[in-house]
Amino acid sequence: MDGRLLRCAIVVVLAASSFAPGALAQTATDKAAAEGLFDQGRAAMQEGDFAKACGLLERSQHVDPAVGTLLYLAECYEKAGRTASAWATFREAADAAAGAREPQRARTGRERAQRLEPLLSRLTIQVAPETQQLAGLTVDRRDKQIQPALFNVAVPTDPGEYSITAAAPGYESWSGTVTVPDRAGKVSIGVPALRKSSEPDKGPATTAPTAPLPGQAGPDRPAGTSDAPGASVSLGTTSGETRSGAQRTIGVVVGAAGVVGIGVGTFFGLRAFSKYGEAKDHCADGICRDDQGVPLTEDANNAATASNIAFGIGLVALAGGVVLYLTAPSENRSAQTSALRARIGPGSITLGGTF
């Protein structure tokens, strides 16, 4: 089997596998969790517990981002007195709605943000030039690191008291507090030049023995093994196995993944039709008359998007599987040893092999 053809097959399999039952179950679970958090957040807003409501809506948006959730979250920030957060979130919701071709929501987000802008309070953290030049300098506001680009800039900030700290290796740390007023206030705090630490930096007491590099042979390990974290898997064919059988097997796997993708597309397509039908009872001409229409419309849009993606990947995988199966060599031919190796580590999957 040609090496390029096998690599293409691997790509198709990995793409189609994103719609495997386990992955789809996880997606459905996430959406259900996000809807539950959203409902709880709205209920907490109606009860006036805005701190709890904002936290629930933040979690819902993190699990399953949606324009409607952003608008509710921005309103929650505003009612909680977090004007800067509300202003920024309304602008984010407007941009997201414009990208999703939802002009009414985009207009709502822009208008709400413009209404809040004159009420914003701004905080300037002034950092001395000699301090800015220190290697490894960190300036934090309530344990949130401030980027150097924001030094000496009036930044919209939620009202409240803030602790400002500055630290750099070899220098004494500095801290101070500042209170940002509720409405249209402008305050600043200065970070002075840091003083050098009186205690010298302590180096390591002992030198640890040098460990073999990953993939390097050592006294306790044969060459070719890998170090944790991560796991290596090697799949190969010996010279006695035929390329024809391997290619047909991959074709069957890719085709099966395509069938799964088409089935998933059908499921989400039917769900989109159902949700659109329910939304019509609450919305007309793009305007929803009550709170139930917004989540129903979002569910319909999300289901339609999932259906399109699943159908597209399913059709590509099915076509790829058919091509792989039909183009397999008809007669058995011995070949050199082929192998496919995969290494799974934290946040990455590495594929390699010889063909």
Give 210 or 42, the one with higher predicted confidence. 42
Q: What is the rounded distance in angstroms from the CA atom of residue 123 to the CA atom of residue 162?
A: 10
344 has pLDDT over 80: no
**What's the mean pLDDT when you consider all of the chain?**
77
Lowest mean pLDDT among 94-103, 209-218, 322-331: 209-218
| Percentage, residues of the chain above pLDDT 70 | 67
Contact (Cβ atoms closer than 8 angstroms) between residue 126 and residue 178: no
287 has pLDDT over 70: no
**For the chain, where are the alpha helices, taking DSSP H only?**
3-17, 21-46, 50-63, 67-79, 83-99, 103-116, 129-132, 243-280, 293-326
Token pair in block for residue 98: 């414009």
C-alpha angle 7/12/13, rounded to 5°?
95
Q: How far is CA 200 from the centre of its chain?
A: 42
Predicted confidence at residue 268, as pLDDT, reads: 78
Q: What is the rounded distance in angstroms from the CA atom of residue 331 to the CA atom of residue 84?
A: 70
Predicted confidence at residue 331, as pLDDT, reads: 52
Map residue 163 onto helix, strand or coil: strand
Predicted confidence at residue 258, as pLDDT, reads: 77
Give 38 or 11, the one with higher predicted confidence. 38
335 has pLDDT over 50: no
Map residue 94 onto helix, strand or coil: helix
CATH topology of domain 119-191: Immunoglobulin-like (2.60.40)
pLDDT digits (tens, 9 = 90+) for 190-202: 999 999 998 655 5
Q: What is the rounded distance in angstroms from the CA atom of residue 49 to the CA atom of residue 54?
A: 9
pLDDT digits (tens, 9 = 90+) for 55-82: 999 999 999 999 999 999 999 999 999 9
pLDDT (average), residues 336-348? 46
Predicted confidence at residue 27, as pLDDT, reads: 78
Buried b (16+ CB within 10 A) or exposed e, 14-41: ebbbebeeeebeebeeebeebbebbebb
pLDDT digits (tens, 9 = 90+) for 239-279: 444 566 777 788 788 778 878 878 887 887 788 777 767 76
pTM over 0.85: no
pLDDT (average), residues 132-136? 95
Ramachandran angles phi, psi of 116, nearest 5°: -85, -25
Q: How confident is the model at residue 333 (pLDDT cuts 50, 70, 90)?
A: very low
Residue ranges of domains in the chain: 3-28+228-354, 119-191
